[in-house]
Structure 1
C-alpha cells in the first residue's frame, strides 16, 4: 500500500470511528461519558488508543496515567503504529461477520486490543526496555488471553478472531493481512534454541486450534485447517490439514484473493 493511501485509510477509519462513537453516545446515554473519554475527546487514533489501552492495562504500581505517557511516547516515536492500528481495525471490520462497526474492535475485541498492546511492548523491546515490555506482555495475557512475546514481528492488517489462547513466540514472524482464530499457537518444538518459531507469510489463514511449531515457513496465501499440527514448511497457496498436517489441495480461492481475506474454511 502506497504511503498516501495508508494515511488516507488511517484517517478514514478514525473519522468513521468518531461518527460511530457519537451515534452510540446518543443512543445509549449510560455509555456517553465512556465514549467521550475513550474516543470523542481525542483528535487522533493514537491519542484515543493511548488513553484506552492505559485504562485497560494500568493497575497497581503502574497506573493508567503512567502507562498512558509510555504509550504516547511509543506512538510519537513510531507513527507507523497508528497506521497499523487503523489497518488492523479495518481488517476486523471487513473479515468478521459479527463485527458491525469499528467501535466494536476498538472498545471490546480482545484480539484487537491485545495486538495493539503488543505493538507498544514490541516498541519497548526495540528500545531495550525489556522489563517493561515483559510487564505489558504479562498484563495482556492476563487481561486478553493473548500471549505474544514482545520480540515477535507482526505486520499490519492482522485479524485475530476471538483471541482466547493465542500464543506467538519470540522469534515468530507474522506478515501483513494474516488471519487467525482462537487457540492458535505459533511456537517452538520445545527442544530448540535461537530462531525457533514459525514465519507466517502474507495472506495466510490459520484455523482455530491450529499449532504451527518450529522454525518453518508457511508460504504466502496458504491455509491451515482448524486443529492441525504443522511441523514442516507449507507451500504458498496450499491448504494443509491433519496431525501432522499434510497438503490436501490449493488455498481455496482465486489468484486475486488471499485466504485470510476470504475467510473460507471449507475444503473438499
Structure 2
C-alpha cells in the first residue's frame, strides 16, 4: 500500500471514529454497541471484517469464519479497503438523507453485501471457490443481495436499498454506478451465453432487468422496471419494456 493511500484510509477511519465518539457521547446505550463495532478497532479493515462476520454468520463460529476470511483478504489485498472506502463515500455523495460515514457503515446492508462480494471475488480468483460461493449464498440469504464471485465491479458503487439485487457471473460493472432494489443483471438464454457490461456512472432504477450480451454506456440511465436486451449508448436514458431510448446526447436508435 502506498503512503498516499495509507494516509487517505487513515483520514477516513479517523472521521468514522470521530463520528462514533460523538454518537457514543450523546447516546450511552448506543455507545456500547459502537465500542465493539468501531472504537475497539484500529482501522477500517478490522472493523469491516468483523462487521461482515456479524452480518453473515448465524452463530459465533460462523461469524468468526467469515471474519477470518475477510481479514485475510484485506491484509493481502489492501486495495479492497481502498474500494470499500470509496464505496462508503459514494453513499454520502449520492444519498441526501445521509450526512456522515458511520450510519451507512453500520446499517446499510447494501454496503455490507458489496464488501462481502469483494471478499468472495478475492477468494474466487485464488481458487477458494467453495468459500467464495459460501459468501454469495449467505449474503443472498441474509441480505437479499446475490452477486456471483466471478462478477467484476468497480469502486464508488452504491447499492441503494439493496433488496432483491441479483448480479450474475461475468457481469462487468464500472466505477460510480448506482443500483436500486430488485435489479437483475445477468446472462440471457441465448448461446453462447454473454453477460452485460455496465459503464461508469450508470444509474439503474428499481426493478430493472439487463440481460445478455449488451453494453450500457457511461452515464446512461436505466428507468424503473425497464427491460434491456440491447445496447444503451452513453448518456442515454432507457425506459419501458422493451426498452426505448430518450434524452440521448446524440441521435441513437432504439435500444
TM-score, with structure 1 as normaliser: 0.87
Deviations 1:158-178 (A, max 9, x none): 011001111100010111111
Secondary structure of the residue aligned to 1:212 is strand
Partner of 1:248: 246
Separation in 2, partners of 1:228, 1:26: 46
CA RMSD after TM alignment = 1.7
Secondary structure of the residue aligned to 1:250 is coil
Within-5 A mapping of 1:229-240: 229-240=227-238
Secondary structure of the residue aligned to 1:163 is coil
Deviations 1:51-103 (A, max 9, x none): 11111212359522232221111001110000000000000011011222211
User: Any conservation in 2 of the 1:9–1:86 contact (CA below 8 Å)?
Assistant: no
Partner of 1:212: 210
Deviation at 1:212, TM superposition (A): 0.6
Secondary structure of the residue aligned to 2:41 is coil
Deviation at 1:19, TM superposition (A): 0.8
Structure 1 segments, 4+ long, off by >6 Å, are: none
Partner of 1:91: 90
Relative distance call for 1:154 and 1:62 in structure 2 (3 A) is farther
Within-5 A mapping of 1:112-127: 112-127=111-126
Separation in 2, partners of 1:21, 1:60: 26
Partner of 2:13: 14
Deviation at 1:30, TM superposition (A): 1.3
User: Any conservation in 2 of the 1:204–1:219 contact (CA below 8 Å)?
Assistant: yes
Relative distance call for 1:8 and 1:232 in structure 2 (3 A) is farther
Aligned residues: 248
Separation in 2, partners of 1:14, 1:193: 45
TM-score, with structure 2 as normaliser: 0.92
The answer to whether 1:201 aligns with 2:203 is no
Deviation at 1:150, TM superposition (A): 0.8
Within-5 A mapping of 1:1-268: 7-60=6-59, 62-194=61-193, 196-250=194-248
Partner of 1:260: none
Which segments of 5 or more consecutive residues in structure 1 lack a partner in the other structure? 252-268
Separation in 1, partners of 2:218, 2:3: 25
Which segments of 5 or more consecutive residues in structure 2 lack a partner in the other structure? 250-255
